[in-house]
């Protein structure tokens, strides 16, 4: 196989795992629901090695409403274990919602997958490519590729169709304290915040800055400044002047305006303030207070 052809196959992700003929069948099935089979929910089982562990309850609830109204538009993909058992490859969220909606059966594409290794790879790649995973789940997925399949970062980047640097940045998130990893998974801070905290070697100091991010609603840029200024300091000196200023200013403005205030700093260091007043009269009262 030429380098060009090999790169093309690896870049397609599932093609590299299933082979061209299998993936062609899968593509044809996704275009034509007539190729799917109706299977009883009692015969369908979840994949115990599913990399996706967080299922948003609100998304599930919304999907239940949609299913009750329109049914299952996109069949799930399963593999046959025996006549009475089929294991999910992709579509567990649709499966869960269908059970809540009290459906008796759902449409399924059946893939012939004999090798447990290929099954796990398909589940991992399918989830990563559909951006169904949170940053930590993606990082753990990449780590499994490394530990269980001896793949390096270059091979993973080709397999999932992501830049090498992107894959590396995800993996580096696993260096963070588990509490911070949980914060990223729960959406309390972004991957950008996490990347900034990676530069702080002291885990206790990471937690202290993490708490500052939450309490002061610090931006990624503010977090980067604090991390750069504190990464070599002992933990008892972890409070940065930057965060103190923002916290103090926010508190004073909120007390003055009697309203919630948000301070944001752009890439050039310019700071903007935003708040909401109940009426023009309240705004006028604030102006009078300031001018006096």
Q: Residue 11 burial (CB < 10 Å; 0-12/13-18/19+)? A: middle
As given in the structure block, the two tokens for residue 256 are 């003055």
Name the pLDDT band for 170 (thresholds 50, 70, 90). Answer: very high
**pLDDT at residue 243, rounded to an integer:** 60
Q: Among residues 72, 92, 114, which one ends one of the domains?
A: 114
> Is residue 153 included in any domain, yes or no?
no
Which residue segment(s) compose the domain that 54 sits in? 17-114
Strands (E), the chain: 37-40, 44-45, 76-82, 85-90, 105-111, 261-265, 271-275
In this structure, the strands spanning 44-45 and 85-90 are: parallel
**Does 106 share its domain with 189?**
no
> Is residue 196 included in any domain, yes or no?
yes
**Is residue 12 within 8 Å of residue 124, measured between CB atoms?**
no
> CATH number of the domain that 76 lies in?
3.90.1530.30
Sheet holding 37-40, edge to edge: 37-40, 105-111, 76-82, 85-90, 44-45
**Does 267 share its domain with 183?**
yes
Residue with tokens 């993909």: 77
Name the pLDDT band for 13 (thresholds 50, 70, 90). Answer: very low
Most confident of 155-164, 165-174, 177-186: 165-174
> Is residue 99 included in any domain, yes or no?
yes
> Is residue 75 included in any domain, yes or no?
yes
**pLDDT at residue 55, rounded to an integer:** 67
Please tell me the distance from the alpha carbon of residue 170 to that of residue 201, in angstroms, as a whole number: 17
> Is residue 214 included in any domain, yes or no?
yes
Pick the closest to residue 217 from 189, 242, 192 (CA basis): 189
**pLDDT at residue 151, rounded to an integer:** 86
Which of helix, strand or coil describes residue 273?
A: strand
**Does 191 share its domain with 279?**
yes
Q: Which of 87, 92, 126, 137 is catalytic?
A: 92
> Is residue 201 included in any domain, yes or no?
yes
pLDDT tens per residue, range 30-49: 333 446 889 999 999 987 76
More confident call, 121 vs 290: 290
Does 26 have pLDDT greater than 60?
A: no
**pLDDT at residue 106, rounded to an integer:** 93
The yes-or-no answer on residue 92 being catalytic is yes
Q: Among residues 85, 114, 143, which one ends one of the domains?
A: 114
More confident call, 24 vs 275: 275
Phi and psi, residue 54, nearest 5° = -100, 120
- Per the structure, how many domains does the chain have? 2
Q: Among residues 99, 114, 129, which one ends one of the domains?
A: 114
Please tell me the distance from the alpha carbon of residue 103 to that of residue 57, in angstroms, as a whole number: 18
pLDDT tens per residue, range 49-85: 665 666 667 778 888 888 888 888 889 888 888 888 9
Strands (E), 23-73: 37-40, 44-45
Name the pLDDT band for 90 (thresholds 50, 70, 90). Answer: confident
Range name among 92-96, 157-161, 247-251 with the lowest pLDDT average: 247-251
> Is residue 237 included in any domain, yes or no?
yes
Q: E strand or H helix at 184, and its extent?
A: helix 178-185
Phi-psi region of 119 (alpha: psi -120 to 50; beta: other; left: phi over 0): alpha
Sign of the C-alpha dihedral computed for residues 27, 28, 31 and 33 taken in this order:
negative
Provide mean pLDDT across the span 86-92.
Answer: 86
* Bridge partner residues of 82 (DSSP): 85
As given in the structure block, the two tokens for residue 154 are 């270059």
> Is residue 275 included in any domain, yes or no?
yes
């Amino acid at each position: 196989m030429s380098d060009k052809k090999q790169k093309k196959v690896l870049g397609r992700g599932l093609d590299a795992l299933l082979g061209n003929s299998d993936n062609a069948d899968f593509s044809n099935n996704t275009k034509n629901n007539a190729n799917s089979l109706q299977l009883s929910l009692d015969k369908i089982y979840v994949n115990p090695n599913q990399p996706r562990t967080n299922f948003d309850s609100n998304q599930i609830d919304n999907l239940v409403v949609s299913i009750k109204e329109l049914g299952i538009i996109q069949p799930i993909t399963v593999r046959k274990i025996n006549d009475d058992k089929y294991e999910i490859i992709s579509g567990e969220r649709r499966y869960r919602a269908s059970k809540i909606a009290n459906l008796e059966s759902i449409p399924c594409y059946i893939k012939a997958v004999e090798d447990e290794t290929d099954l796990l790879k398909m589940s991992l790649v399918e989830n990563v490519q559909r951006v169904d995973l949170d940053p930590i789940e993606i990082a753990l997925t990449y780590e499994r590729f490394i530990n269980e399949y001896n793949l390096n970062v270059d091979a993973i980047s080709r397999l999932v169709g992501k830049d090498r640097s992107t894959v590396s940045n995800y993996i580096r998130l696993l260096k963070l304290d588990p509490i911070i990893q949980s914060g990223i998974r729960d959406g309390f801070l972004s991957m950008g915040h996490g990347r900034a905290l990676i530069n702080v070697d002291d885990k206790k100091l990471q937690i202290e800055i993490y708490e500052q991010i939450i309490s002061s609603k610090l931006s990624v840029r503010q977090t980067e400044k604090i991390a750069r200024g504190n990464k070599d300091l002992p933990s008892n000196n972890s409070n940065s002047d930057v965060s103190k200023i923002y916290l103090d200013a926010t508190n004073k403005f909120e007390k003055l305006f009697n309203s919630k205030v948000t301070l944001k700093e752009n890439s050039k260091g310019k700071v903007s303030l935003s708040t909401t007043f109940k009426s023009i009269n309240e705004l006028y009262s604030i102006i009078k207070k300031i001018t006096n």
